[in-house]
Amino acid sequence: MKILIKDVLLKGATQDIFINNGSIEEISGRCTREADKVINGRNKAALPSLINGHTHAAMTLFRGFADDMPLKNWLEEKIWALESKLTEEDVYWGTKLACLEMIKNGVTAFNDMYWHWEGTARAAAEMGVRGLISAVFIDMFDRKKGQEQIELNRALFDLSERYKPYVTFTFGPHAIYTVSEGSLQWMRDFSEKHNILIHMHLAETLDENRFADEKYGLTPVKFLDHIGVLSERFIGCHGCVLNEDDCRTLRERRAKLVHIPVSNLKLAVGSIFPHFLMKNEGIPYCFGTDGCASNNHLDLIETMKFASLIAKFANHDPTMLPARETFDIATKAAAGIFNLGDWEIEVGKSPDIILIDLNRPEFVPNFDIWSDIVYASNGSVVDTVICMGRVLMENRYVPGEEDILRKVKKTAKALVAR
Amino acid sequence: MKILIKDVLLKGATQDIFINNGSIEEISGRCTREADKVINGRNKAALPSLINGHTHAAMTLFRGFADDMPLKNWLEEKIWALESKLTEEDVYWGTKLACLEMIKNGVTAFNDMYWHWEGTARAAAEMGVRGLISAVFIDMFDRKKGQEQIELNRALFDLSERYKPYVTFTFGPHAIYTVSEGSLQWMRDFSEKHNILIHMHLAETLDENRFADEKYGLTPVKFLDHIGVLSERFIGCHGCVLNEDDCRTLRERRAKLVHIPVSNLKLAVGSIFPHFLMKNEGIPYCFGTDGCASNNHLDLIETMKFASLIAKFANHDPTMLPARETFDIATKAAAGIFNLGDWEIEVGKSPDIILIDLNRPEFVPNFDIWSDIVYASNGSVVDTVICMGRVLMENRYVPGEEDILRKVKKTAKALVAR
């Protein structure tokens, strides 16, 4: 598929962009090549797409089902009760909605952890986005359960071949308080052998750190390091309760983090991602939305604003996380973490591309496009989405969206009535 | 003008709403009255419009001009430098853009403080929204300047008659560190005589509180109380640095507050609005966006999400500021503060009305409309806006919007080049 974007704003100049099978072959003032699809880029800006570093996509099914509750009651009475009834078909539809919502917000890749792996994989592949998909791995320190999960994960790893190039299999050990040392060590070895990313909740709450201290006499990071799980393939999500020593260890092991500010604030976890430590140590990190039960929106532009503003406020320093740096973390840095290549709109590179509609109040006067995107807009400014060389959205329309909305409404209502 | 909204979701049921000159005359399953304008409400929800409790509307002109800077340099080198060059025509166009942006985000009333009063008033009236408009009052403790400002405010109060019913004149003493005791006392007396609201920055930063302590040996609240300025007509904006004693005094004087979370975080003011004290004391408050130089978006739905999440996080309690309460503060409570009447969609009442488009991923599955609005959406879900009995926006289109965008781009560029 050859796509030609005409007259689009790119790095301050009006350009034509020619894309062949997802790879940018020409950027010039006037491109005359033949294309299968020509997109009018006038009054639009071309940017690399956004990458969602942590979500549970199918939890769109639970959006608005339970909010404003104490964490423990919310999880145990509401979320786990519903999750126990989920089928793969439910997960498939919930993920279809999540992918639709992410596309509408300019997100083309997401790092997922959830139940019924194949439901998520099927939906991501059908929607044409990039899913880094893990099955939640929980054994509750039970050897038999651990063995079952290991077998399941082996099988899913093999199955994931079927969903290429859309889906990449990853490991999703839930957290240090739900997964045994033995299972973590198995994932460590399998991950090293097959170069698989490990996606794990890490130091999200004070309770988690208390658990680690009581069980292992260590912080979560130090425990994972002690059993050799930290590596350049390790991606820790949340990281609200990290000290300087933890951060030094994460850097030494070349591990990565995902900052998820909206969820952390909404669930009132009691501590926030120490942006200044990350910066000091040079630890790569990106942003995630979390699932729709705890955010409740998969809008990564909104998340960028929260992340930047919380970093400024928490550090008493308005120069922290400036707009351009924030945007680069959500795009370039994230692509690095998930091995998606060089996420720049340049000849010879293959980032996914979004077009932003500049013909809106948010982009007037438009002194600084990074500031306008991070501080003045939200996902609704995204007009067009191109992922792996295919146009997924144009003029804010995604083919088939009405069907997804209708079907998910039914699915969610049937689920809570079950 | 008679408006009939057909088949719209209102409080859980599908209803017709008949509005005559801004007053709701019928709500029923099927209304057969003749109307000048019929709006199809299918797949939409009717809600009272949002009210912006604090802004400097014309500062849309400065959006993205200077961000990510230390507060003092940002104000003195960037903002004040530009403001010194502003003309009334600039303010008029900046406010036109702000009104357009607010309409697009479901906001029909705004409480403003800025230079060139008549530029703001003219724009608000032309756009058909409700402006509570003050002229910034700054005398820097200079008696002559104070007298000039007093004369100007007297004249503007008289002039404001011309802009009724759109514009209500209010006083805008900037802050305790820029306005003398004498000027504040004059406003106090004039405000009492003519029933005029007083709109003032209050306890925004630690510096402000330090100033009050050094100059008066009191907190800002205690100083204002000491000179008799606090009353049911007093509206203090920001209120980041308030103690229990301040809050007790504010309650006793029946003063009101405006919480402006996005600006407070972005400027890293060092302290945050003590939601739990307001709740304990029962002090009425609403939300504001601040101007576009420090937010940079006039989206009050975004502000609701920030306010609710920050309240949860700061109080280590996820049950704080639940969705419905948050929405009521931004609508009903705000209308009370600004004397706009009973802001409920009920027969015999005259709230402004917005229609929300439910046919979007954010509103699927739609278990709880308050949660979906506050946590999962943003201003772009607003489809239709009715203010004082006139339709200002339909299908997200505001007549004349292209001209405003074009003209403001030119105005802002000319301003910075001046």
What number of residues does chain B have? 418
Q: And the tokens for B76?
A: 């003195």
Q: Is B313 on the interface with A (CB under 8 A)?
A: yes
Q: Considering only CA atoms, which of A315, A311, A316 is closest in space to residue A326? A: A311
What tens digit of pLDDT does each residue of A322-345 get?
999 999 999 999 999 999 999 999
Instruction: Give Cβ neighbours of residue B345 (< 8 Å, ≥ 6 apart).
Output: B10, B11, B17, B24, B27, B46, B47, B48, B351, B353
Mean pLDDT of chain B: 97
Rg (CA), chain A: 21
Token output for A398: 């995604």
Average pLDDT of the segment spanning A97-121:
98
pLDDT value, residue A164: 97
By Cβ distance, the residue of A295, A318, A361 closest to B267 is A318
Cβ-based burial of A13 (10 A; exposed 0-12, middle 13-18, buried ≥19): exposed
Whether A365 has its CB under 8 Å from any CB of chain B: the answer is yes
State the pLDDT at residue B75. 86
- pLDDT score at A71: 82
Q: How far apart are CA B395 and CA B105, in angstroms?
A: 13
Of B63, B313, B376, the CB nearest to A297: B376
Cβ-based contacts of B290 with chain A (< 8 Å): none
Tokens of B200: 């003032």
Q: With an 8 Å Cβ cutoff, are B63 and A367 in contact?
A: yes
Q: At what angle do helices A300-314 and A369-376 cross, to 10 degrees?
A: 90
Mean per-residue pLDDT, A5-16? 97
Does residue B400 carry a pLDDT above 90? Answer: yes
pLDDT in tens, B20-40: 999 999 999 999 999 999 999
How confident is the model at residue A64, as a pLDDT? 96
Q: Which residue of A has its CA nearest to B402?
A: A359
Contact A364 B408 (CB under 8 A): yes
Judging contacts by C-beta atoms under 8 Å, the chain A residues touching residue B408 are: 364-365
**What pLDDT, on the 0 to 100 scale, is given for residue B71?**
82
- A24 φ, ψ (degrees, to nearest 5): -80, 115
> In the numeric block, which tokens belong to residue B408?
């403001």
A330 touches chain B (CB under 8 A): no
Q: Can you tell me the ipTM of this complex?
A: 0.98
Q: How far is A51 from chain B (nearest CA, A)?
A: 19
Query: Is the CB of A296 less than 8 angstroms away from the CB of B272?
Result: no
Do B380 and A376 make contact, defined as CB atoms within 8 angstroms?
no
CA distances from B178 to A34, A152, B93, B136, B175 (A): 64, 68, 27, 10, 5
Distance CA A69, CA B106 (A): 28
> How far is Cα A199 from Cα A235, in angstroms, rounded to an integer?
5
Separation in Å, CA of B263 to nearest CA in chain A: 9
CATH 2.30.40.10 placement within chain B: 2-48+344-401
Cα–Cα nearest to A108, from A297, A336, A354: A354
Angle CA A58–A59–A60, to nearest 5? 85
Round to whole Å and give the CA distance between A316 and B353: 39
The CATH H-level superfamily of B2-48+344-401 is Urease, subunit C, domain 1 (2.30.40.10)
Residue B121 pLDDT: 98
**Which of the residues B42, B60, B65, B67 would you substitute to probe the A interface, choosing the one with the greatest number of A C-beta atoms within 10 Å?**
B67
Mean pLDDT, chain A, integer: 97
Residues within 8 A of A (CB atoms), B 202-221 only? none
Residue A67 at interface with chain B, using a CB cutoff of 8 Å: yes
Tell me which of A65, A375, A382, A383 to substitute to probe the interface with B (most B C-beta atoms closer than 10 Å): A375
In one-letter notation, the amino acid at residue A39 is I
Q: Which CATH number fits domain A2-48+349-401: 1.50.10.10, 3.40.50.200, 2.30.40.10, 3.30.70.330?
A: 2.30.40.10
Give yes or no for a cis peptide into A284 (omega within 30° of 0). Answer: no
A409 to B364: CB separation less than 8 angstroms, yes or no: yes
Q: Is the CB of A320 inside 8 Å of chain B's CB atoms?
A: yes
Sign of CA dihedral B391, B392, B398, B399: positive
* pLDDT above 90: residue A396: yes
A-to-B residue pairs, Cβ atoms closer than 8 angstroms: 211
How many contiguous H segments (helices) and E segments (strands) does chain A have? 16, 16
pTM as predicted: 0.98
> Of A372, A317, A360, A349, which Cα lies nearest the Cα of B71?
A317
Residue pair B7/B42 in contact (Cβ under 8 Å)? The answer is yes
Question: Sorting pLDDT into bands at 50, 70 and 90, what band is A139?
Answer: very high
Evaluate if residue B72 carries a pLDDT over 90.
no
The alpha-carbon gap from B401 to the nearest alpha carbon of chain A, in Å, equals 9
Q: Using one digit for the tens of pLDDT, what is the confidence trace for B169-209?
A: 999 999 999 999 999 999 999 999 999 999 999 999 999 99
Start-end of CATH 2.30.40.10 domains in chain A: 2-48+349-401
Predicted local confidence at residue B267, as pLDDT: 95
pLDDT value of residue A167? 98
Q: Is the Cβ pair B268, A377 closer than 8 Å? A: no
Per residue in B207-219, pLDDT (tens digit) is: 999 999 999 999 9
Is the C-alpha dihedral spanning B210, B213, B219, B224 positive or negative? Answer: negative
Q: Does B299 touch chain A (CB under 8 A)?
A: yes
CATH superfamily of B50-337: Metal-dependent hydrolases (3.20.20.140)
Q: pLDDT tens across B100-144, in order? A: 999 999 999 999 999 999 999 999 999 999 999 999 999 999 999
Residue A366 CA to residue A371 CA, distance in Å, equals 9
The answer to whether the CB atoms of A64 and B367 lie below 8 A apart is yes
| Rounded percentage of chain A residues whose pLDDT exceeds 70 | 100
Is pLDDT at A72 greater than 90 in this prediction?
Answer: no
Q: Which ranges in chain B are annotated with CATH 3.20.20.140?
A: 50-337
Q: What is the pLDDT of residues A174-193, one digit of tens each?
A: 999 999 999 999 999 999 99
Please name the residues in contact with A47: beta carbons below 8 A apart, sequence gap of 6 or more.
Answer: A106, A327, A331, A345, A353, A354, A355, A356, A373
The tokens describing B43, both together, are 């797949």
